[in-house]
Structure 1
Amino acid sequence: MPSLTQNLTHIGAGFRALSDPLRLQIIELLSSQELCVCELCEKLDVNQSKLSFHLKNLKEADLVYSRQEGRWMYYSLNLSQFVVLEQYLADFRHLEAILPGRNCD
């Protein structure tokens, strides 16, 4: 079982990967379907080397899966990692009652 430090490192990697506008655009495109690199390049109007760099970041953060079919690489979202990030943030909801100046309903 991963330690707390390993979990936080993994969560931090996810949030860092989501901190780039182009990577957020990639996530948006993948939220509706699996896409190959050529489709992502076309939709985002970026060259393949730049896109590959950003896909590598997303993959290292476990936010996307990749699979090869013939000569093409296809990417899709790893929804379970998004659930981990969402749960991490949700764990802070209980703090809203103790924050000064907040009127919570």
Structure 2
Amino acid sequence: MLISADGVADEAVVKLFGDPLRARIVRLLAGEQMCTCHLVEETGARQPTISHHLRILREAGFVETEPRGRFTYYRLRPDAVAEVARAIGSLAADAERARGSYRPCD
């Protein structure tokens, strides 16, 4: 779903952490479910900016919504974050195996 066929999490990582504000939103949502007004209050960003980042995260499959009265609450999907973490762990394992392995120059 989030990881490319070659197992690299490039696009998913960019969606999660490619922008400092979006990374902050992800960290905040990891701690509790929040609505846009909470995220505006916590970050100091404007509501349209928060909504833009939430849309990116929602479309990438990292955030889901739950209507509660007049408000929509956002929560981080732990399974989606875990999938990226597994891909990054695999990348780290590949890098460890590559230590001391040099491609010959022509």
Q: Which TM-score tier does this pair reach, normalised by the shorter chain?
A: 0.7 to 0.9
Structure 2 unaligned blocks of 5 or more: 102-106
Q: Give the CA deviation at 1:44.
A: 0.6
Task: Tell me the equivalent position of 2:18.
Answer: 19
TM-score computed with the length of structure 2 as normaliser: 0.79
Q: Give the CA deviation at 1:7.
A: 4.2
Q: Give the CA deviation at 1:86.
A: 0.8
TM-score computed with the length of structure 1 as normaliser: 0.79
Name the count of aligned residue pairs: 96
Q: Does 1:77 align with 2:76?
A: yes
Q: How does 1:32-43 map to 2 (within 5 A)?
A: 32-43=31-42
CA distance in 2, matches of 1:97, 1:13: 24
Kindly indicate whether the alpha-carbon contact (under 8 Å) linking 1:13 and 1:61 is maintained by their aligned counterparts in 2.
no
Q: CA RMSD in A?
A: 2.1
Q: Matched residues, percent identical? A: 26
CA distance in 1, matches of 2:74, 2:11: 19
Q: Which structure would you say has the larger RCO, counting Cα contacts within 8 Å and 6 or more residues apart?
A: 2
Structure 1 unaligned blocks of 5 or more: none
Task: Tell me the equivalent position of 2:4.
Answer: 8
